[in-house]
Structure formats: C-alpha cells, structure tokens
Amino acid sequence: MSYRASSVRHKLPFFARCSAYLVLCLIATAVPVAHAEDESKLKIREVQAALDEGVYELDVKTDLTLPDAARQAVESGLTLRLTYEITVDRVRRYMPDAGIAALEQRYEVSYHALSQRYLVKNLNTGEQQDFGTLQAALDRVCDLRGLPVIDKALVADGRVYEGRIRAVLGMNTAPDVFGWLLFWTDDWSTESNWKTWTLRP
Amino acid sequence: MDAPTLKRAASAVTMGLGGLLWLAAILFMAQTAQNSEQFSRLHPWILAINIAGLVVLVGLLATKLTQLIRDWRGHVIGSRLKARMVWIFGVLATLPILLVYFFAVQFLNKGIDSWFNVEIRRSLDDALVLSRSALEVRMREHLADSELIAEEMGVAGASMPGLLETMRRQVGAIELTVATQSGRVIAVSKGLSSEVVPENVPDEVLLQLRQGQPFVSLEPQQEGGYLIRTAVPIGGEPMQGGERLLLQSMYPVAERLGALADTVQAAYKQFGEKDYLRRPLKASFILTLTVVLLLSLLAAWYGAIFTAQRLVQPIQDLVQGTRAVAQGDLDTKLPLTSHDEMGFLVHSFNDMTKRLRRAREDQRSAQLAVETERAKLAVILARLSTGVISLEPDWRVRTANRAAAMILGEDIESRVGAPFGAAGAEPENLARQFAEACQQRFEGGAVEWREQFSFQTGAGRRILMCACTPLPLEGDAPGGYVLVFDDITVMLQAQREAAWGEVARRLAHEIKNPLTPIRLSAERLRHKLLPGMTDPRDAQMLERATETIVQQVEAMKEMVNAFSEYARAPRLEMATVDLNKMVTEVSDLYRAQGAIRGVRLKVDLDQGIDTVVADPGRLRQLLNNLLTNAVEALEGQADGSIAVSTQRVVRGESDVARVTVEDNGPGFQRELLGQVFDPYVTTKTKGTGLGLAIVRKIVEEHGGHIEADNRAGGGAQIRIDLPLREAAADTALRRGRLESRRERA
C-alpha cells in the first residue's frame, strides 16, 4: 500500500482521440482499426468501513463488465490494470474539507499462456494469485475485503470524516513502450463513480 | 521602422515559429513511432499539435482559396493568372507527394506484416505446446503420486501424520495437506524450504473434487519458477459429520525446466502482445505518414498560393497603375519590391509616369500661359473702342468685344457660336446691314480687304470703317477671319464741322471786312450825289440803289455774324441752371409770337428733374433755336402746334434730363435725316441753315446727346439729353474727348 498526495492517472485526452479519428476518416486509409463495440462498465456497488485492531478497513464490492475485446486483449498478452483511488477528508463546516489520507490500491490481471492460468498481482504488496478463469481473477480484484485505509490514531473522536473511493480500469503492455498504441484501441479504459462513506470515530 | 514593416516582420516570425513547431512535432511523432518510451507518453500531445497545425493550415488555405475564388468571380486583375499558377504549382507538388505516400503506406503494411508472419507464430505455438507437454508429464506423474498416497492414507487411517511426512519425503513434494471437502485443514506436512503458513485449498480445487475429478495445475510463482498443485480425494471411511477428506500436494518443478518454460512464456506473451498491437501500430505509422502528407500538401498549396501571389502582385500593381494612368492619375507610383526583371519593369513604369507627369505639368504651364495671354487680349479687346469680331470659316461668331456690340447696337458677345448677322431683324438694323455688306465682300472672293461702309439706320446715317484679315490656318483647316471696324460717323461729322468752321471763319474774315467800306461808300454816294440831282427819277433811282446796297450789306453782315458765331470757339461759363424754369421762360417768349402765327405751344415739365450744370446763355440760345426752327417749320400751316417737354430718363449708366421739342409740321426729309445737324442742310427757303448745327454744337459742348427723328403721326421731333448735376464731372470728360477728336479732325 502506498500513500500519495493526489491521484495520478494516465488518461489520454479525449479531444486528441476525436481529432485523430476525424483525420483518419478524412484520409480514408485502407488500414482498419480495431473498434470495441462495447465499452467497459465499472461501478462501485458497495463499500463498508469497519475498525479492526486500531485500523479502519474497507470491504469493497465492485461491478465490472468487461467486453469481449478486452478479454481477447488479455488473452493475447496485454495486462489489465485496476486501480482503486481512495481519499479520506475531514468534514469542515465553513471551510473546504481537509484531506487526511489518499492512497491507491493497484491490481494487475494477466494471462499465463503456458499454465493457462490468470494471474492477479497486487502491485502494492507484490502478492500474486492465479485463477483458472478470467472471471475468477476479476472476481478477486472486484471483491476487496479488509483493505486498511487509515489508522485510528489519525482520526479524532467527535469529528466527521468522509471517505471516497473509485476504481479506474486501464490496459498496459508488458514493457510500456507500446502503451501509446492502445490510444487507438483502448475503448475499455474507464473509471467508476465516486462512492462515499462516512466515518464517525 | 514603419508599421507595415513591423507587421511583415511579425508575420514572418510567427510563421517561422509555427513552421518550426510543426517540424518538431513531426520529428517527435516519428520518434514515438520508433518505440521510444519517453516520447510515447507525449504521443497524444504531439499528435494534437500536428492536428492543430493541420486545422490552422486548412483554415489559412481555405481563406486563401476563398479569396482567390472571389477574385476570380469578381474578375479582379491578375486573379486568373494567379489561379493558373496556383493550380500548376499545387499539382506539381501534389503528384510526387502522393506517389511517395502511396509507396510508403504499401511498404509499411507489408513490412509490419512480415514481422508477424505465420512461421514465427507457429514456432512460438509449438514451443509453448512442447513446454506445456513437458510439464504435463510431470503433472501427471505427480498426480499419480498423489493418488497413491491418498489410497494408502485411506487404508492407514489413524497413523496419518507420520504417514504424511513419510510419503512427502518419498515423492519429493514440498507440502502435503489433508483437508476436508469444505477446505478445513486437518494435517500438513511441509518441507524446510517451503513457507511456514500452509497453502489453503482454493475454491476451484474444492469445486472440482466435489465433482469427483482430481485436480492438477501448474502454478507460476511470484518470484519465478513453477509449482504443481494436485488434489485428490482420500479413500476409506468419511470423518465424523460425514465429510470426506482430500489430499492437496505441492510439487516443485525443476529449476532448469522452469527457466526454460519462463523463457517460452515470456516470448509467447511478448509476441502475442505485439501481434495484438499490430493494427494499431500500422495505423499509427500511417497516421504519422498521413499527417506529414497532409501537412506537406497543405503547405505546398499554401506555398503555391503565396508564391503565386508574390509573383502576380507586381503584375497586378502594374495593371492597376496602368489603369490609373489611363484615367489621368499620373501620381501613381508602384512599390519596388524586387530588383529582378519585374523590378526593372516597375522601375520603368514609375519612370514613365514621372515623365508623363512632367509633360503634363509643362502642358499645364503652357496652357496657363496661353490662357493668361488670352485673358490679357480679352481685356485689351474689351477696352478697345474699335470693334473686333473673329469669325469661324463657316461665318459663325467666335469672339466679339464689347466695342463691337456698342457700335453695332447688338449683343454680339452673347451670340458666340451663332451665325454672324442679325437674321430676322429690321432692314435698317445696323448689325444686319454690316453683316450683309461683309458677306458680299466674301462672296466676291475677297478675304483680306479694307473698306468704308455707309449704312442708313433708324438713328441716321452711320459710317463704319472695316478691315478684314484671314486668321492663320489651324492645322489643315482654315482659321477663320477677324473683322476690325470702327464707327467713324462722329469723326467724319467732326471733320465736316471743323471744315465748316474754317469756312465760316475765313468767310467772316474775308467778307466782313469789305462790307463796311461798301456800305460807307454807298451812303457817301447817296449823300454826295443825291442833293445834286435834279431829275427826281434819277434821285429816286439812286435812293433805291444805295438803299439796296446798304440792305444787302446788312444781310451779308448778319450772315457773316452767324458764321462767326458758329465758328467761334465758345468760352462757357458753367452754372447751375434750373432747366424747367428756363424752358418756361423761353416758351413764354415764343408763346406770344406763336399765337400771332397761329401756332399752339404746349409745355410739359417733369418736376423730378434736378438742376443741370450749363452755360445759361448758350442753353437759352439752344432753346431759342429749337423753337425758332419749329415755328418756322409751321409757317403757313393752320393748326400748327409745338410741344416742349422735359423728362428724367436713364441713358447708359446715369440719369439725364431730356428736352423734347415736337411739332406737327412736315418733318425731316428721310434722306436728310442723318444730316439735319450739318450746316446749310435745310429745307426752308429762309434762314442761314446753321440753327440746328449750332444746337448740336451747344449740346456737345455740354456733354449731351441730340437726336432728330420724325414722329409717327407726322412732324419732327428733336430730343436732347443733358447730364444732370451729378454727372457734371463726366460731362467735362466727354467734352474734352470731343474737343480732342475735333482737333484731330
């Protein structure tokens, strides 16, 4: 687990993609570009915070629908990356909320062709698990249990804290030198809504 | 530095920076296509910059093309030449660019496809299958070992912990776990190299075992290498609660075999990944090429327009300058933008307009000089007392001076361009007679002549001295004629008067002197001889003869005195005279005399007449002569009447006092009307014939004007205009002029 001051995303600008497609349509080149008909759907369905041995932990349930093109991309060797962005703010009445903690929990899902297993790797801890199906692997990263968020010592009694979490889905290449090529195909990159919960120590 | 220069410099700098930015963006884009991780992050932005450049260039090009089309439709000078040049330049630039683009795209497609040809793919698939087969052999062996252990454990039952350790050592497993079908671990046997925490039984293992199938899988490890996981049910009696037991075994894969498998896996994964990205890679390359193509094409077309504009601009300037010069704007100066042949042409044009401008200024100066001279000549002609009329060859009036109008009594100045001659005027019209006389001369073939004309007009006889001279030729066309004429009537009259005056003076001198001795001699003869005559008849005859001599001498003396009076140079004693009063006094003297002769005298006075400045004696003599002349004209007429009137009238530019004496006698003979004021011109049997001549002399001495005419109802009419007091100064001037003319005569 790593704490960061703010969230970091590598999201390609929308207008750049639109402009590029416009140019491609204009020049009418003969090279077809893969288009994903369906886009990914990502939604934080449920989040619960509970105090366990002096640490507030989160149970998160996420709904993820991955289109076939994304599944094929994973089987072809591309790596699916799911990042949870979590922030905890202290609620203030007359001033903007004060940030208390911000962290990212990152997972990678990839296909191991030799063993025909799907690997789930926690990039924060380096822990790796393997699953026989992609759906099992996705279920694993979509169902987080006991994710430590903030130490109880960092929150004051009587105060109200608001936590927010969202998930960001992206695709990586193994070495990232070809990552820019996903610019043309990465229609399944998406992000979920922000889900909030209230913490009253 | 002026504003246009600054603007041009700013535009050049902006365009230069924009061009450099595009060039850098294209180079960056090419770098990203060569697998540079650093540039790959910037790829979208670089692409956006290029596309923005494209949009800007398209906008600029569209603006230029729209302007070009608008100029074409508006028939703007040079637009067609510019369009033709743009078309040629654009096509010449487009064809090779498109050709290169086509071959480049083909090369890219085939080149990238060759990287992922079928042989490489098949080799990798085979390698993977081979590796998988090798590992599957191990997996089957370890599954068999696991099943053997599970069978023995089912038989052994209670001695399970010891058996587990023994069997684990025997089969070389790193961990053996006995668990229930719900996943609860019953017993574990682990080797020293494995982790302390036993492996859980995954759900998928439990699920497969519940379905009665043994489980075996190859699991890649986080730190590299592989483990083989097997799970089989343990035979024998179920545990308390009815749960059956299962055995999960973890076997290591040989390090060498695992390394080889990792290599195959990595290569396969990398190839699959690249194969998947093949199409985007090609699209990216082609997009880069296409953006470069579009930039090149648009830049080429924009450059074509820019170049055509630069080339055509001097021509447009020249055409516009030529039109401006054709419309008379010789101040046109074209900007010299280059020093090539076009610059030489522009320089020549500017030099030409400069010369034309100088020529026009010279022409204007000459024209101004001519106009000045013409104005001076017009002033001179206007001030001349001699009439000057210039005629076109077709007898139309070209110019005429004021004196001509005054002499002819017609406004000829306003008839410039009209035929010369007063067409439709009365036969006695002087201008008409003068024009006819001149025309007769021309019809006679004379073009340069000099002649004295005498015309009979309503105001009397007028004598004009006229000279005609042809004007110089105007090119090949005849130049027309100029008529110079003068009214010499007054001059001739003055000459006659002077001659008569000299005759009178000599007559008075030569005749008057012997008259007295003649009279004295006749009286002495009568005095000496009469007393001595005895014969009464002789005495009576002597008496009658001497009496006749004396009477005739007296008559001759009176005549000589009259001549002397006419010839005498007057010494006027000017004074303010009440004209109406003097007319009344003289009329009263004649009223009695007229009543005796049966003549009625009527006096009509204008009370608005102011006093006149005149010699009272001469003025009284003037009235006496006029009334005497009228009374004598009415002798023998039963109902004779005389009307004397005064009137204030306008003559020329000033008011005058007009005295009119009319009678109802026989009037003047028509042929003598112009000579009634000459000495010895009379139709009466008595009198000296000097009465009206003296009247005119007195009038002229006072600067007046006299006219004689016949009344419409019969009888004579004499009009005398005398200047009023306010015109006295002018009168003296006129009298001086008359004296000088008389002296010249």
Chain A interface includes B215 (CB < 8 A): no
Average pLDDT taken over every residue of chain B: 82
Binding-face residues of B in 38-67 toward A, CB within 8 A: 40-41, 43-45, 47-48, 51, 54
Name the minimum distance, in Å, from the CA of B43 to any CA of chain A.
7
For the cut 80, the answer to whether the pLDDT of residue B50 exceeds it is no
Q: Are the beta carbons of A16 and B47 separated by less than 8 Å?
A: yes
Q: Rounded to whole angstroms, how far apart are CA atoms A107 and A122?
A: 5
Decide: B93 and B300 in contact? Cβ < 8 Å: yes
Rounded to an integer, what distance in angstroms lies between the CA atom of residue A165 and that of residue A131? 26
Contact residues on chain A for B112, CB-CB shorter than 8 A = none
Is ipTM strictly over 0.95?
Answer: no
> Are B722 and B614 contacting, i.e. CB atoms less than 8 angstroms apart?
yes
Least confident span in A181-190, B30-39, B105-114, B481-490: B30-39
Report the pLDDT value the prediction gives residue B568, as an integer from 0 to 100: 67
| pLDDT tens, position by position, A62-74 | 999 888 888 888 8
Cα distances (Å, whole numbers) of residue B581 to B186, B604, B627: 178, 12, 16
The b/e string for B628-655 (b: 16+ C-beta within 10 A; e otherwise) is ebbbbbbeebeebbbbbbbbeeeeeeeb
Report whether pLDDT(A117) > 80. Answer: yes
CA-based nearest residue to B130, from B261, B245, B21: B261
Q: Residue A76: exposed, middle, or buried by beta-carbon count in 10 A (0-12, 13-18, 19+)?
A: middle
Closest to B260 (Cα-Cα) out of B314, B223, B224: B224
For A168-186, what is the mean pLDDT? 64
Mean pLDDT is highest, among B409-418, B479-488, B561-570, B724-733, for B479-488
For CA atoms A169, A173, A178, A184, the dihedral sign is negative
Q: Which residues does B527 contact at the CB level (< 8 Å), separation at least 6?
A: none
The answer to whether the beta carbons of residues B282 and B112 sit under 8 Å apart is yes
Would you state the pLDDT for residue A47? 93
pLDDT one-digit tens code per residue, B235-253? 766 665 667 888 899 998 8
Please check whether residue A121 is in contact with residue A79, taking contact to mean a CB–CB distance below 8 angstroms: no
B294 inside 8 A of chain A by CB: yes
Q: What pLDDT sits at residue B36?
A: 47
User: Could you tell me the fold of the domain covering B384-487?
Assistant: Beta-Lactamase (3.30.450)
Q: Is B131 near chain A, with CB under 8 Å?
A: yes
| pLDDT value for A86 | 94
Whole-number pLDDT of residue A78: 86
Min mean pLDDT across A159-173, B60-74, B123-137, B682-696 is at B682-696
Q: How many CB atoms lie within 10 A of CB A107?
A: 23
Residue B41 has pLDDT above 70, yes or no: no
Cα(B222)–Cα(B224) distance, integer angstroms: 6
Average pLDDT over every residue of B261-273: 86
Q: Which three-class secondary structure state does DSSP give residue B34?
A: coil
Q: How confident is the model at residue B424 (pLDDT cuts 50, 70, 90)?
A: low
Nearest by CB to A113, from B44, B265, B284: name it.
B265
Residue of B nearest to A19 (CA): B51
Pairing of strands B600-604, B641-651: parallel
CA distance B642 to B602: 6
What number does CATH give the domain B140-262? Answer: 3.30.450.20
Judge whether residue B194 has pLDDT over 80.
Answer: no
Query: Of the candidates A76, A128, A184, which has its C-beta nearest B273's C-beta?
Result: A76
Residues 257-286 on B with a CB inside 8 Å of A are 261, 264-265, 268-277, 279-284, 286
State yes or no: pLDDT of B33 exceeds 60.
Answer: no
- Mean pLDDT, range A152-175, rounded to an integer: 84
CB neighbour class for B412 (10 Å; exposed up to 12, middle 13-18, buried from 19): buried
**Residue with more model confidence, B224 or A127:** A127
Residue with tokens 């330049």: B89
Average pLDDT over residues B532-557: 87
pLDDT at A35 (0 to 100): 45
| Residue in B with minimal Cα distance to A112 | B265
Alpha-carbon span B745 to B741, nearest angstrom = 6
Asked if residue B649 lies in contact with residue B725, where contact means CB atoms within 8 angstroms, the answer is: no
The residue extents of the domains of chain A are 38-199
Q: Cα distance from B149 to chain A (closest Cα, Å)? A: 25
* A27/B294 touch (CB, cutoff 8 Å), yes or no: yes
CA dihedral B439, B441, B447, B452 (to 10 degrees): -110
- Give the pLDDT confidence score for residue B448 in this predicted structure: 86
pTM attached to this predicted model: 0.50
Q: Which two tokens stand for residue B614?
A: 């005149």
Query: Is residue B115 over pLDDT 80?
Result: no
Q: How far apart are CA B337 and CA B313, in angstroms?
A: 10
Q: Find chain A residues with C-beta within 8 A of B265's C-beta.
A: 112-114
Show residues of chain A in contact with B47, CB under 8 Å: 16, 19-20
Spatial CA neighbour of B287 closest among B115, B114, B93, B105: B105
* pLDDT of B343 strictly over 90: no
| pLDDT at A3 (0 to 100) | 35
Tell me if B542 sits within 8 A of B529, measured CB to CB: yes
Q: Are B239 and B245 in contact (CB under 8 A)?
A: yes
CB within 8 Å: A182 and B271: no
- On whether the CB atoms of residues B504 and B563 are closer than 8 A, the answer is yes
CB count within 10 Å of CB B354 equals 13
Report d(CA B681, CA A155) in Å as an integer. Answer: 156
Range 512-531 of B in CB contact (< 8 A) with A? none
Which pLDDT score, from 0 to 100, does residue B423 have?
A: 62
CATH class of A38-199: mainly beta
Nearest to A46 by CA among A151, A149, A192: A192
CA distance B644 to B662: 7
CB pairs under 8 A between A and B: 149
A134's tokens:
């992609």
Q: In which band, very low, low, confident or very high, does the pLDDT at B414 lie, cut at 50, 70 and 90?
A: confident
> For chain B, how big is the Rg over CA atoms in Å?
73
> Six-digit token pair at B650?
């306008």
Model pLDDT for residues B692-714, shown as the tens digit of each residue: 888 888 888 888 888 888 888 88
Pick left, alpha or beta for residue B182 (phi over 0 → left; psi -120 to 50 → alpha; otherwise beta). Answer: alpha
Contact residues, chain A, for B41 at CB < 8 Å: 10, 180
Sign for the CA dihedral angle at B671, B676, B679, B683 comes to positive
Beta strands in B368-504 (DSSP E): 387-391, 397-400, 449-457, 460-470, 481-487
Substitution target in B273, B295, B296, B298 with the highest count of A β-carbons within 10 Å is B273
In order, the DSSP letters of B297-314 are HHHHHHHHHHHHHHHHHH
A62 forms bridges with which residues in the sheet? A44
C-alpha distances (whole Å) from A33 to each of A42, B103, B283 are: 25, 20, 7
Cβ burial B671-685 (10 Å sphere, 16+ → b, else e): eebbbbbbbebbeee
What CATH architecture applies to the domain B571-744? 2-Layer Sandwich (3.30)
